Amino acid sequence: MPRIGLDARMLPNGGIGRYIGELIEHYPELVRNEDIVVMAHPRDHVEVRRLAPGIELVPLQSPIYSIREHLETAWQVRRAELDLLHVPHYVPPYGVRCPLVVTIHDVIHLRFPRSRLHAMYCRRMLAEVRKRAALVLAPSRAVAAEITEFGGIEPERIRVVYNGVRADFGAPSEGPEVEAFLRRMRLERPYLLNVTNGLPHKGLRTLLEAFRDLLPEAVRRDPRGIRLVLAGDGSDRPAVLDEIADCGLPADTVLPLGGLSEREMRFAYACSAAVVVASDHEGFGLPVLEGMASRVPVVSSDAGGLPEVVGDAGLLFPAGSVADLRKALYTVAFELQGGERDELVQRGADQAARFPWEGTARATLAAYERALASVT
Protein backbone atom coordinates (compact mmCIF):
# COMPACT_ATOMS: atom_id res chain seq x y z
CA MET A 1 0.00 0.00 0.00
CA PRO A 2 1.44 3.45 -0.92
CA ARG A 3 1.44 6.25 1.65
CA ILE A 4 -2.12 7.49 2.16
CA GLY A 5 -3.00 10.72 3.96
CA LEU A 6 -6.31 11.19 5.79
CA ASP A 7 -7.41 14.75 6.62
CA ALA A 8 -8.80 14.25 10.14
CA ARG A 9 -9.41 17.87 11.17
CA MET A 10 -13.15 17.20 11.45
CA LEU A 11 -12.61 14.44 14.02
CA PRO A 12 -14.56 16.36 16.73
CA ASN A 13 -17.47 17.14 14.38
CA GLY A 14 -20.60 14.98 14.74
CA GLY A 15 -21.29 12.32 12.13
CA ILE A 16 -18.26 13.15 9.96
CA GLY A 17 -16.10 12.93 13.06
CA ARG A 18 -17.50 9.49 13.85
CA TYR A 19 -16.72 8.38 10.29
CA ILE A 20 -13.12 9.65 10.51
CA GLY A 21 -12.55 8.15 13.94
CA GLU A 22 -13.76 4.73 12.89
CA LEU A 23 -11.50 4.73 9.84
CA ILE A 24 -8.51 5.68 12.01
CA GLU A 25 -9.30 2.95 14.54
CA HIS A 26 -9.82 0.18 11.97
CA TYR A 27 -7.00 0.93 9.54
CA PRO A 28 -4.21 -0.58 11.72
CA GLU A 29 -6.14 -3.88 11.70
CA LEU A 30 -6.05 -3.90 7.89
CA VAL A 31 -2.81 -2.20 6.75
CA ARG A 32 0.59 -1.31 8.22
CA ASN A 33 0.76 1.81 10.40
CA GLU A 34 3.36 3.36 8.11
CA ASP A 35 0.94 3.19 5.15
CA ILE A 36 -1.53 5.66 6.73
CA VAL A 37 -0.70 9.24 7.71
CA VAL A 38 -3.33 11.01 9.80
CA MET A 39 -3.32 14.78 9.35
CA ALA A 40 -4.99 16.26 12.42
CA HIS A 41 -5.13 19.40 14.52
CA PRO A 42 -2.72 19.13 17.49
CA ARG A 43 -5.63 19.36 19.93
CA ASP A 44 -6.89 16.02 18.55
CA HIS A 45 -3.58 14.15 18.61
CA VAL A 46 -4.31 12.51 21.96
CA GLU A 47 -7.60 11.15 20.59
CA VAL A 48 -5.89 9.87 17.43
CA ARG A 49 -3.25 8.13 19.58
CA ARG A 50 -6.04 6.54 21.64
CA LEU A 51 -7.69 5.20 18.49
CA ALA A 52 -4.49 4.07 16.75
CA PRO A 53 -1.39 4.29 18.99
CA GLY A 54 1.21 3.51 16.31
CA ILE A 55 -0.16 5.50 13.41
CA GLU A 56 1.85 8.36 11.87
CA LEU A 57 0.62 11.87 12.71
CA VAL A 58 1.10 15.14 10.84
CA PRO A 59 -0.19 18.41 12.35
CA LEU A 60 -2.69 20.53 10.43
CA GLN A 61 -3.72 23.66 12.31
CA SER A 62 -5.68 25.57 9.66
CA PRO A 63 -9.43 25.97 10.27
CA ILE A 64 -11.84 24.10 8.04
CA TYR A 65 -13.20 26.18 5.13
CA SER A 66 -10.38 28.73 5.37
CA ILE A 67 -7.95 30.00 2.74
CA ARG A 68 -5.02 28.94 4.92
CA GLU A 69 -6.05 25.28 4.88
CA HIS A 70 -5.23 25.01 1.17
CA LEU A 71 -1.69 26.29 1.63
CA GLU A 72 -0.88 24.30 4.76
CA THR A 73 -2.39 21.06 3.50
CA ALA A 74 -0.51 21.23 0.19
CA TRP A 75 2.77 21.89 2.03
CA GLN A 76 2.26 19.03 4.51
CA VAL A 77 1.24 16.60 1.75
CA ARG A 78 4.49 17.31 -0.10
CA ARG A 79 6.52 17.16 3.13
CA ALA A 80 5.02 13.79 4.09
CA GLU A 81 5.58 12.46 0.54
CA LEU A 82 2.02 11.18 0.23
CA ASP A 83 0.88 9.16 -2.75
CA LEU A 84 -2.83 9.91 -2.19
CA LEU A 85 -4.91 12.19 0.04
CA HIS A 86 -8.37 11.30 1.36
CA VAL A 87 -10.48 14.38 2.04
CA PRO A 88 -13.50 13.20 4.07
CA HIS A 89 -15.62 16.26 3.23
CA TYR A 90 -16.24 18.14 0.01
CA VAL A 91 -13.36 20.69 0.09
CA PRO A 92 -10.38 19.48 -1.98
CA PRO A 93 -7.36 21.63 -1.09
CA TYR A 94 -5.77 23.64 -3.86
CA GLY A 95 -2.09 22.98 -4.49
CA VAL A 96 -2.23 19.26 -3.68
CA ARG A 97 -0.72 17.42 -6.64
CA CYS A 98 -1.17 13.81 -5.58
CA PRO A 99 -4.42 11.97 -6.43
CA LEU A 100 -7.47 12.77 -4.27
CA VAL A 101 -10.27 10.62 -2.90
CA VAL A 102 -13.12 12.83 -1.65
CA THR A 103 -16.06 11.76 0.49
CA ILE A 104 -19.27 13.72 -0.07
CA HIS A 105 -21.68 12.81 2.73
CA ASP A 106 -24.63 14.73 1.30
CA VAL A 107 -25.60 17.78 -0.76
CA ILE A 108 -27.65 19.41 1.99
CA HIS A 109 -25.61 22.60 1.54
CA LEU A 110 -27.21 22.93 -1.89
CA ARG A 111 -30.67 21.58 -1.08
CA PHE A 112 -30.96 23.73 2.04
CA PRO A 113 -28.39 26.54 1.65
CA ARG A 114 -27.91 28.84 4.62
CA SER A 115 -27.23 31.74 2.25
CA ARG A 116 -26.62 32.46 -1.42
CA LEU A 117 -22.90 32.88 -0.68
CA HIS A 118 -22.85 29.51 1.07
CA ALA A 119 -24.47 27.82 -1.93
CA MET A 120 -21.98 29.48 -4.30
CA TYR A 121 -19.05 28.20 -2.21
CA CYS A 122 -20.48 24.66 -2.23
CA ARG A 123 -20.95 24.71 -5.99
CA ARG A 124 -17.38 25.92 -6.44
CA MET A 125 -16.03 23.11 -4.28
CA LEU A 126 -18.13 20.52 -6.12
CA ALA A 127 -16.66 21.82 -9.37
CA GLU A 128 -13.19 21.29 -7.91
CA VAL A 129 -14.12 17.75 -6.88
CA ARG A 130 -15.36 17.06 -10.41
CA LYS A 131 -12.14 18.40 -11.88
CA ARG A 132 -9.58 16.90 -9.51
CA ALA A 133 -10.86 13.85 -7.59
CA ALA A 134 -9.70 10.47 -8.82
CA LEU A 135 -12.64 8.90 -6.97
CA VAL A 136 -15.61 10.18 -4.97
CA LEU A 137 -17.13 8.21 -2.08
CA ALA A 138 -20.82 8.48 -1.16
CA PRO A 139 -22.51 6.95 1.92
CA SER A 140 -25.63 5.85 0.00
CA ARG A 141 -26.96 5.31 -3.50
CA ALA A 142 -29.19 8.34 -3.00
CA VAL A 143 -26.18 10.60 -2.41
CA ALA A 144 -24.32 9.04 -5.34
CA ALA A 145 -27.19 10.04 -7.63
CA GLU A 146 -27.22 13.57 -6.18
CA ILE A 147 -23.48 13.97 -6.70
CA THR A 148 -24.06 13.32 -10.38
CA GLU A 149 -27.13 15.58 -10.47
CA PHE A 150 -25.66 18.56 -8.61
CA GLY A 151 -21.96 18.10 -9.31
CA GLY A 152 -21.94 16.63 -12.80
CA ILE A 153 -19.59 13.87 -11.63
CA GLU A 154 -19.74 10.73 -13.75
CA PRO A 155 -21.29 7.70 -11.97
CA GLU A 156 -18.24 5.58 -12.84
CA ARG A 157 -16.09 7.88 -10.66
CA ILE A 158 -18.36 7.41 -7.63
CA ARG A 159 -18.28 4.52 -5.16
CA VAL A 160 -20.96 3.88 -2.54
CA VAL A 161 -19.33 3.09 0.81
CA TYR A 162 -21.88 2.86 3.60
CA ASN A 163 -21.20 4.14 7.11
CA GLY A 164 -21.47 1.72 10.00
CA VAL A 165 -22.19 1.02 13.62
CA ARG A 166 -20.11 -0.75 16.25
CA ALA A 167 -21.10 -4.30 17.13
CA ASP A 168 -21.06 -3.35 20.82
CA PHE A 169 -23.03 -0.11 20.40
CA GLY A 170 -26.03 -1.15 22.51
CA ALA A 171 -26.33 -0.41 26.22
CA PRO A 172 -28.49 -1.83 29.03
CA SER A 173 -31.87 -0.21 29.64
CA GLU A 174 -31.99 -1.19 33.32
CA GLY A 175 -29.59 -1.09 36.25
CA PRO A 176 -28.02 1.38 38.70
CA GLU A 177 -25.93 3.20 36.07
CA VAL A 178 -28.98 3.61 33.84
CA GLU A 179 -31.12 4.93 36.67
CA ALA A 180 -28.39 7.39 37.64
CA PHE A 181 -28.29 8.62 34.03
CA LEU A 182 -32.07 9.10 33.93
CA ARG A 183 -32.03 11.02 37.22
CA ARG A 184 -29.14 13.20 36.09
CA MET A 185 -30.90 14.07 32.84
CA ARG A 186 -34.30 14.36 34.55
CA LEU A 187 -35.74 11.88 32.10
CA GLU A 188 -38.94 9.95 32.69
CA ARG A 189 -39.99 7.01 30.60
CA PRO A 190 -41.67 6.54 28.18
CA TYR A 191 -40.04 8.96 25.76
CA LEU A 192 -39.34 9.22 22.03
CA LEU A 193 -35.75 10.08 21.10
CA ASN A 194 -34.70 12.38 18.27
CA VAL A 195 -30.93 12.72 17.77
CA THR A 196 -30.33 16.00 15.99
CA ASN A 197 -27.97 18.91 15.46
CA GLY A 198 -30.93 21.28 15.29
CA LEU A 199 -30.31 22.38 11.69
CA PRO A 200 -33.28 23.16 9.43
CA HIS A 201 -33.15 19.99 7.31
CA LYS A 202 -33.68 17.80 10.39
CA GLY A 203 -37.46 18.20 10.13
CA LEU A 204 -37.99 19.54 13.64
CA ARG A 205 -41.23 21.35 12.81
CA THR A 206 -42.76 18.21 11.32
CA LEU A 207 -41.73 16.22 14.39
CA LEU A 208 -43.04 18.78 16.89
CA GLU A 209 -46.42 19.10 15.18
CA ALA A 210 -46.82 15.32 14.91
CA PHE A 211 -45.87 14.92 18.57
CA ARG A 212 -48.32 17.68 19.58
CA ASP A 213 -51.11 15.86 17.75
CA LEU A 214 -50.17 12.62 19.50
CA LEU A 215 -50.28 14.02 23.05
CA PRO A 216 -54.08 13.91 23.66
CA GLU A 217 -54.17 10.19 22.89
CA ALA A 218 -51.07 9.61 25.02
CA VAL A 219 -52.65 11.36 28.02
CA ARG A 220 -55.95 9.51 27.49
CA ARG A 221 -54.12 6.20 27.66
CA ASP A 222 -51.83 7.16 30.53
CA PRO A 223 -52.03 10.38 32.59
CA ARG A 224 -48.24 10.48 32.61
CA GLY A 225 -48.32 10.82 28.82
CA ILE A 226 -45.16 10.55 26.75
CA ARG A 227 -42.21 12.87 26.20
CA LEU A 228 -40.05 13.86 23.28
CA VAL A 229 -36.31 14.03 23.98
CA LEU A 230 -33.91 15.88 21.68
CA ALA A 231 -30.24 14.95 22.07
CA GLY A 232 -26.98 15.80 20.35
CA ASP A 233 -24.75 18.83 19.85
CA GLY A 234 -27.05 21.62 18.67
CA SER A 235 -30.27 20.02 19.92
CA ASP A 236 -30.64 22.84 22.45
CA ARG A 237 -29.65 25.74 20.17
CA PRO A 238 -31.84 28.89 20.40
CA ALA A 239 -33.58 28.20 17.09
CA VAL A 240 -34.72 24.82 18.45
CA LEU A 241 -36.04 26.35 21.67
CA ASP A 242 -37.90 28.99 19.66
CA GLU A 243 -39.48 26.31 17.48
CA ILE A 244 -40.65 24.37 20.55
CA ALA A 245 -42.20 27.51 22.04
CA ASP A 246 -43.85 28.42 18.73
CA CYS A 247 -45.59 25.02 18.55
CA GLY A 248 -47.30 25.67 21.89
CA LEU A 249 -46.38 22.33 23.43
CA PRO A 250 -47.07 21.87 27.14
CA ALA A 251 -44.15 22.47 29.47
CA ASP A 252 -41.86 19.52 30.13
CA THR A 253 -43.18 17.44 27.23
CA VAL A 254 -40.19 18.27 25.00
CA LEU A 255 -36.74 18.03 26.60
CA PRO A 256 -33.71 19.31 24.62
CA LEU A 257 -30.65 17.80 26.29
CA GLY A 258 -27.87 19.21 24.11
CA GLY A 259 -24.65 17.26 23.62
CA LEU A 260 -24.10 13.99 25.49
CA SER A 261 -21.08 11.79 25.95
CA GLU A 262 -21.04 8.60 23.88
CA ARG A 263 -21.91 6.52 26.95
CA GLU A 264 -24.81 8.83 27.81
CA MET A 265 -26.05 8.73 24.23
CA ARG A 266 -26.09 4.95 24.31
CA PHE A 267 -28.21 5.04 27.45
CA ALA A 268 -30.53 7.58 25.84
CA TYR A 269 -31.06 5.23 22.91
CA ALA A 270 -31.53 2.10 25.02
CA CYS A 271 -34.10 3.67 27.35
CA SER A 272 -36.26 5.20 24.62
CA ALA A 273 -39.60 3.86 23.45
CA ALA A 274 -38.51 4.57 19.87
CA VAL A 275 -35.93 6.53 17.87
CA VAL A 276 -37.46 9.07 15.49
CA VAL A 277 -35.71 10.60 12.47
CA ALA A 278 -37.94 13.22 10.82
CA SER A 279 -35.38 14.72 8.45
CA ASP A 280 -36.28 16.37 5.17
CA HIS A 281 -33.00 15.04 3.81
CA GLU A 282 -30.19 12.76 5.00
CA GLY A 283 -27.20 11.34 3.20
CA PHE A 284 -27.10 8.29 5.46
CA GLY A 285 -28.65 8.64 8.92
CA LEU A 286 -26.43 7.31 11.71
CA PRO A 287 -29.16 7.70 14.40
CA VAL A 288 -31.35 5.22 12.50
CA LEU A 289 -28.56 2.65 12.50
CA GLU A 290 -27.63 3.31 16.13
CA GLY A 291 -31.27 3.04 17.19
CA MET A 292 -31.62 -0.35 15.53
CA ALA A 293 -28.32 -1.49 17.10
CA SER A 294 -29.74 -0.40 20.47
CA ARG A 295 -32.69 -2.76 19.95
CA VAL A 296 -35.42 -0.14 19.96
CA PRO A 297 -38.05 0.51 17.24
CA VAL A 298 -37.16 3.12 14.62
CA VAL A 299 -39.46 5.61 12.89
CA SER A 300 -37.85 7.35 9.92
CA SER A 301 -38.73 9.61 7.02
CA ASP A 302 -38.12 8.29 3.53
CA ALA A 303 -35.72 11.14 2.64
CA GLY A 304 -32.35 10.67 0.96
CA GLY A 305 -30.40 7.58 2.00
CA LEU A 306 -32.60 6.70 4.99
CA PRO A 307 -34.64 3.95 3.26
CA GLU A 308 -31.39 2.20 2.28
CA VAL A 309 -30.37 2.07 5.93
CA VAL A 310 -33.77 1.17 7.40
CA GLY A 311 -34.77 -1.47 4.86
CA ASP A 312 -37.82 -3.31 6.22
CA ALA A 313 -36.62 -2.96 9.82
CA GLY A 314 -38.44 0.25 10.77
CA LEU A 315 -41.51 2.38 10.11
CA LEU A 316 -41.02 4.73 7.16
CA PHE A 317 -43.21 7.78 6.50
CA PRO A 318 -43.19 10.39 3.69
CA ALA A 319 -40.80 13.20 4.61
CA GLY A 320 -42.65 16.34 5.72
CA SER A 321 -45.99 14.60 6.39
CA VAL A 322 -47.21 15.47 9.88
CA ALA A 323 -50.21 13.13 9.61
CA ASP A 324 -48.14 10.12 8.55
CA LEU A 325 -45.52 10.74 11.22
CA ARG A 326 -48.21 11.07 13.88
CA LYS A 327 -49.67 7.73 12.75
CA ALA A 328 -46.23 6.06 12.91
CA LEU A 329 -45.59 7.48 16.39
CA TYR A 330 -48.99 6.21 17.54
CA THR A 331 -48.10 2.76 16.22
CA VAL A 332 -44.76 2.48 18.04
CA ALA A 333 -46.09 4.10 21.23
CA PHE A 334 -49.38 2.22 21.62
CA GLU A 335 -49.92 -0.55 19.07
CA LEU A 336 -46.63 -2.44 18.96
CA GLN A 337 -46.88 -5.02 21.70
CA GLY A 338 -45.20 -8.26 22.70
CA GLY A 339 -44.11 -10.47 19.83
CA GLU A 340 -44.80 -7.88 17.12
CA ARG A 341 -42.50 -5.36 18.80
CA ASP A 342 -39.87 -8.02 19.45
CA GLU A 343 -39.95 -9.03 15.78
CA LEU A 344 -39.42 -5.42 14.62
CA VAL A 345 -36.59 -4.93 17.10
CA GLN A 346 -34.89 -8.14 15.95
CA ARG A 347 -35.19 -7.12 12.30
CA GLY A 348 -33.56 -3.83 13.27
CA ALA A 349 -30.69 -5.57 15.06
CA ASP A 350 -30.15 -7.86 12.06
CA GLN A 351 -30.21 -4.87 9.70
CA ALA A 352 -27.68 -2.96 11.83
CA ALA A 353 -25.35 -5.97 11.76
CA ARG A 354 -25.09 -5.54 7.98
CA PHE A 355 -23.27 -2.22 8.47
CA PRO A 356 -20.01 -2.91 10.37
CA TRP A 357 -17.44 -0.10 10.50
CA GLU A 358 -14.77 -2.65 9.56
CA GLY A 359 -16.61 -3.09 6.27
CA THR A 360 -16.51 0.68 5.75
CA ALA A 361 -12.75 0.71 6.35
CA ARG A 362 -12.13 -2.22 3.99
CA ALA A 363 -14.20 -0.68 1.21
CA THR A 364 -12.43 2.67 1.66
CA LEU A 365 -9.00 1.07 1.40
CA ALA A 366 -10.14 -0.71 -1.76
CA ALA A 367 -11.24 2.67 -3.11
CA TYR A 368 -7.75 4.07 -2.48
CA GLU A 369 -6.22 1.26 -4.52
CA ARG A 370 -8.71 1.80 -7.34
CA ALA A 371 -8.06 5.54 -7.34
CA LEU A 372 -4.32 5.02 -7.55
CA ALA A 373 -4.72 2.49 -10.35
CA SER A 374 -6.88 4.92 -12.31
CA VAL A 375 -4.14 7.56 -12.45
CA THR A 376 -1.19 5.31 -13.28
- CATH number, domain of 125, equals 3.40.50.2000
Question: In terms of domains, do 137 and 212 share one?
Answer: no
Q: For the chain, what's the residue count?
A: 376
Once rounded to an integer, what is the mean pLDDT over residues 198-209? 94
Residue 232 half-sphere exposure toward CB, CA atoms < 13 A: 19
**What does the pLDDT look like over 162-174, one tens digit per residue?**
999 998 998 999 9
Question: In terms of domains, do 248 and 323 share one?
Answer: yes
Question: In terms of domains, do 185 and 133 share one?
Answer: no
Q: Is the pLDDT of residue 175 over 80?
A: yes
**What does the pLDDT look like over 32-73, one tens digit per residue?**
888 999 999 999 999 999 999 999 999 999 988 888 989 999
pLDDT for the residue 72:
94
* Residue 354 main-chain phi, psi, to 5 deg: -80, -5
Residue 255, SS3?
strand
Q: Which domain holds residue 326?
A: 176-352
Question: In terms of domains, do 111 and 194 share one?
Answer: no
**What does the pLDDT look like over 253-275, one tens digit per residue?**
999 999 999 999 999 999 999 99
Judge whether 74 lies within some domain.
yes
Residues linked to residue 315 through DSSP beta bridges, in sequence order: 299
Interior CA angle at 231 toward 227 and 237, to 5°? 105
pLDDT class for 132, splitting at 50, 70, 90? very high
Question: In terms of domains, do 189 and 269 share one?
Answer: yes
pLDDT for the residue 273:
95
Question: In terms of domains, do 192 and 303 share one?
Answer: yes
Which pTM value belongs to this model? 0.93
DSSP strand E in 47-91: where? 56-59, 84-87
User: pLDDT higher for 376 or 328?
Assistant: 328
**What does the pLDDT look like over 14-31, one tens digit per residue?**
889 999 999 999 999 999
DSSP letter for 356, please. B
Question: In terms of domains, do 321 and 363 share one?
Answer: no
Alpha-carbon distance values, 273 to 19, 226, 295 (Å): 27, 9, 10
pLDDT for the residue 122:
85
Question: In terms of domains, do 118 and 207 share one?
Answer: no
Q: Is the pLDDT of residue 223 over 80?
A: no
